[in-house]
Amino acid sequence: MERKTALELLDPSHHDDVSVLYKNWGIISGSFVGSIGALWYNWANRRPTLSGLPRSLIIVASLAGAGRLLQDYRDKRLAQRDAVLRHYISLHPEDFELPPRVKYSEVFGSWIPVR
């Protein structure tokens, strides 16, 4: 396994191969929360499970949209943070040198079991 520098760790090119679940987590979680919320509302008011289906679909769609907006906001905020970190690292490379590789035999001293 090769060692990576700080700039290589913040390289955005590896974000292209993310899973479908990661790309759509906002829509999925918003839809899940909306559907569970609509079912819970019907259960709490002692109504049939699928009563008010159009209202439930509107809730699910609106929360899916809100989840997508939250996901986009989070992605933009994290991209901005990474850009600031990349810029700082490029201005101060002396603070981010690769640490020397240390073996466990150099870290741990000799050990004698006492019985």
Q: What is the pLDDT of residue 66?
A: 96
Average pLDDT, the chain: 89
| pLDDT of 84 over the 90 cut | yes
Q: What is the pLDDT of residue 12?
A: 77
Which residue has 């640490």 as its token pair? 99
Taken in order 29, 34, 35, 37, the sign of the CA dihedral is positive
Lowest mean pLDDT across 34-48, 63-77, 93-107 = 93-107
pLDDT digits (tens, 9 = 90+) for 3-39: 888 888 888 776 667 788 888 999 999 999 999 999 9
Q: What is the pLDDT of residue 15?
A: 65
- Sequence spans of domains, the chain: 20-94
> Within 13 Å, how many C-alpha atoms sit on residue 15's CB side?
11
